[in-house]
Amino acid sequence: MQLTRLQPRLLEKVWGSTRLEPWFESTGAKIGEVWFEGATELPILVKFIFTTEKLSVQVHPHDDYAARHHNSRGKTEMWHVLAAAPGAQITAGFREPVSLERLQAAALSGAIESLLEAHAAAPGDTFFLPAGTVHTIGAGLVLCEIQQHSDLTYRLYDYGRPRELHLDHALAVTRREPHPARQTPNGDQLVSCPHFTVVRKRIEAASQLPPRPIGFELLIVTEGQGWIGGEPVRSGEVWYAPPRARPLEVAGNFTLLAASVEP
């Protein structure tokens, strides 16, 4: 079995950060997202997100809408919090059901954030956002995002920044009700949905990851360093593990998110 280290691609964002340590070396640019890419297209995408300002209030479409309007996938995603400044928050879903007319008026006036459910965000927290969930990420956060491999984003409100909004598309796909975004782990399992399953493991001694004869895993090192399948690994790396019939040996002192995908 051959592990493949995915290559990071750093993307500048107006809301990004110049401080990327300990995951990456800082460049002086305001990096907001780090994408991990391989030689072949994967159905899920891993990102590290760094924020010093709020992102836009936004929503992503589901598969059917994305296919009809953009010949693309939808975007269901999850966030695992790696670092958070005091008072850092994310918002996701509405505090109560809202009508289409009220949602449109709030997006136009800028009052939309007051309709959304705010969540305190601390290291180790996990949030799940199915397609159609309106959300925003606050300032002072480092997140690991695992998502369907799509970059379709409809902005409803952008805090006065001169970027395009997509109100018609956003209103068409938004779930206009509360959503339980915060996830309570089920043992090691953080999230399981039709697009991916993610488990968190703390490696402190030699052990094994179970065989996966069907489907693949993306192995995301979020903290520390060690070895996976004989390969040296460190925080800020993502490795592709193809289907395997044997357990995968791991050792060292690190935290691992394993995102598995069935065919």
As averages over each run of 10 residues, the pLDDT of the chain (263 residues) reads: 92 97 96 90 95 98 97 97 98 98 97 97 98 98 97 96 95 98 97 97 95 94 97 97 94 97 88
**How many separate domains does the chain show?**
2
Domain assignment of residue 149, yes or no: yes
- Give yes or no: residues 30 and 156 share one domain: yes
Residue 152: domain span: 4-173
Domain assignment of residue 181, yes or no: no
Say which residues have a Cβ less than 8 Å from residue 262's Cβ, sequence separation at least 6. Answer: 214, 215
- Give yes or no: residues 20 and 144 share one domain: yes
- Give yes or no: residues 91 and 162 share one domain: yes
Amino acid at 40: T
Chain centroid offset of residue 224 CA: 20
- Give yes or no: residues 257 and 194 share one domain: yes
Per-residue confidence (pLDDT) for residue 216, from 0 to 100: 94
Say which residues have a Cβ less than 8 Å from residue 29's Cβ, sequence separation at least 6. Answer: 10, 12, 16, 18
Domain assignment of residue 248, yes or no: yes
Domain assignment of residue 8, yes or no: yes
Per-residue confidence (pLDDT) for residue 2, from 0 to 100: 83
- Give yes or no: residues 11 and 117 share one domain: yes
pTM of the model: 0.96
- Measured CA distances, 255 to 44, 53, 145, 169 (Å): 20, 27, 15, 38
Domain assignment of residue 229, yes or no: yes
Query: From CA 166, how far away is CA 154, in angstroms rounded?
Result: 5
Domain boundary among 122, 141, 173: 173
Query: From CA 103, how far away is CA 53, in angstroms rounded?
Result: 23
Could you tell me the CATH number of the domain that includes residue 21? 2.60.120.10
- Give yes or no: residues 18 and 136 share one domain: yes
Per-residue confidence (pLDDT) for residue 263, from 0 to 100: 83
Per-residue confidence (pLDDT) for residue 1, from 0 to 100: 62
- Give yes or no: residues 130 and 221 share one domain: no
Domain assignment of residue 31, yes or no: yes
Domain assignment of residue 182, yes or no: no
Per-residue confidence (pLDDT) for residue 139, from 0 to 100: 98
- Give yes or no: residues 84 and 155 share one domain: yes
- Give yes or no: residues 66 and 117 share one domain: yes
- Give yes or no: residues 162 and 193 share one domain: no
Domain assignment of residue 139, yes or no: yes
- Give yes or no: residues 205 and 138 share one domain: no
Per-residue confidence (pLDDT) for residue 39, from 0 to 100: 65
- Give yes or no: residues 168 and 52 share one domain: yes
Domain boundary among 173, 204, 228: 173
Domain boundary among 105, 140, 173: 173
